[in-house]
Amino acid sequence: METDSGYSCTAELQKQEKKLSDALRISAYVFSTGLLIFTALVNIASWFMQYITLGSFWQTAWLEFYDHMEGDEWTIFLVGAALVPALAFWGFNGILLVADITGKPTFITRYRIQLGKNDPVDRKKLWKAIYTALGNQLFVSFPMLVPMFYIMKWWENTFSKELPTFQWFLVELSIFTVVEEILFYYTHRLVHHPVLYKHIHKKHHEWTAPIGVVSIYAHPIEHIVSNTLPVMTGPMIMGSHIVSVSAWFSIALVTTSISHCGYHLPLLPSPEFHDFHHLKFNQCYGVLGVLDFLHGTDKMFRQTKAFERHKVLLSFTPLSVSIPEPPKKDE
């Protein structure tokens, strides 16, 4: 019996070592391939932005805006870090809300992920989500910008009259994304701890079939720790220009709205990963999925049709049609 137990432990250890080796090898392959592609795209995009007049266009526009604001750094910061991202968030979600409420246009609703859910959306739940989202923006996110403003001023670069190059912005964007992935994954898993989940994160999971505005429908503590800090930390570490901050905040808010929107629309990032998290609760905690793969928190997801659909849709045929769920056993 002891010999059998020893063999079992050795086999299990070898299995774990192989899993780690496979994960590292795949990660190295993905990273190296991605780095090569990213470098090529950066060079192409930088050349285009800097030399096909767009660089000078944005520089001129920034200087005009700076002069219009009379160099008032606090006002410039509020416009860039609060107003522009808020307009991006509510502008994008305004379109989605029309589809959620009316079921039209069908060009959007035909791409629904969880068929039969939110069709139409529960108005009472919707208004609660909207009020909470607005409250989080006004009474949580906005006050958090105050200390961020003074941290950014300390870097003495945030309000420079010279914009960063497009190439440097792409480098910053990559760093912001990695920082957000790390912080969001671990804080998200933290609020899934039974004690914290019951009192904090359960609110967000009232929506098993989420919609866009639910992306910031959360308890204030969760909104601070898991929603806002992971996005704010990158720019504060880098001492980024306010234009970079504004673009990043807007991208982050629109991206998380896409992840929660409930529609797998053509040409947009796939929301299948996070939609599955809302459906099953204990899978797919991250943004990119890299840490989920390394920690094994996407095993169930990888065995589903949702994983097969987790890609950018490059046609007008809904993936729920081309890759449908298998029929239930009682059917």
pLDDT at residue 33, rounded to an integer: 60
Q: What angle do CA 228, 244, 40 make, to 5 degrees?
A: 110
183 within some domain: yes
pLDDT at residue 247, rounded to an integer: 97
Residues 47, 100, single domain; the answer is: no
pLDDT at residue 2, rounded to an integer: 47
In this prediction the pTM is: 0.84
Residues 187, 311, single domain; the answer is: yes
Residues 257, 146, single domain; the answer is: yes
Residues 128, 266, single domain; the answer is: yes
pLDDT at residue 331, rounded to an integer: 47
91 within some domain: yes
CA pair distance 23, 41, nearest whole angstrom: 26
Residues 90, 160, single domain; the answer is: yes
61 within some domain: no
CA pair distance 91, 86, nearest whole angstrom: 8
Sites in the chain below the pLDDT cut of 50: 2, 53, 331
219 within some domain: yes
Q: Residue 189: how many CA atoms within 13 Å on its side-chain side? A: 16
Domain that holds residue 42: 1-52
CA pair distance 189, 123, nearest whole angstrom: 30
137 within some domain: yes
By the 10 Å C-beta count (0-12 exposed, 13-18 middle, 19+ buried), 301 is classed as buried
pLDDT at residue 120, rounded to an integer: 87
Residues 34, 85, single domain; the answer is: no
Strand partners, 299: none
Contact 145, 78 (CB under 8 A): yes
Residues 41, 160, single domain; the answer is: no
Residues 31, 157, single domain; the answer is: no
Residues 87, 12, single domain; the answer is: no
pLDDT at residue 326, rounded to an integer: 83
Residues 8, 115, single domain; the answer is: no
95 within some domain: yes
Question: How many domains is the chain built from?
Answer: 2
CA pair distance 72, 251, nearest whole angstrom: 25
CA pair distance 208, 282, nearest whole angstrom: 12
